[in-house]
Amino acid sequence: MASKKAYIDHLRNIPLFSSCSQKDLEKIAKAGDEVSMPAGSLIVDQGQTGREAFVVLSGTVLVKRNGKKVATLGPGAIVGELALLDDQPRSATVVCTAPARVLEVTSGQFRAVLDEVPALAHKLMSALAGRVRNLDTSLLG
């Protein structure tokens, strides 16, 4: 089991949480639970309603959308993060390609952190706005 400090180090490198303070990251890390998953485990299933996000602590995961490989991700990556903010269907499938440890954060746990630290919501909205702008630029120029 990794330490909360290790969780914070992973969270700090995730763009969604890049503007969070050390204290914010500590609260998010404390809200999560470490889960070990064997190779072949389904983490996220495209089309199913999401209620949690997963930060990859060790191992690798394969991301597929509509059956096509999108990415292979390793430690420090996050998958399912939109489920922390809405209750919409997953946009991709994610499977462990090797044994993995993940920090699982449910939407309920995350919303409790937002209730405790409302300013965190503003930081996340800013990070998401940046992602939307980058996507818009990459698609439309």
Q: pLDDT, tens digit, for every residue of 24-39? A: 999 999 999 999 999 9
CATH of domain 4-136: 2.60.120.10
What is the distance between the alpha carbons of residues 90 and 49, in angstroms, rounded to a whole number? Answer: 6
- Structure tokens, 19: 């503007």
pTM (2 decimals)? 0.88
CB 37 within 8 A of CB 92: no
Query: Which helix H or strand E contains 5, and what residues bound it?
Result: helix 4-12
Residue 55: per-residue pLDDT:
95
Average pLDDT over residues 61-72: 96
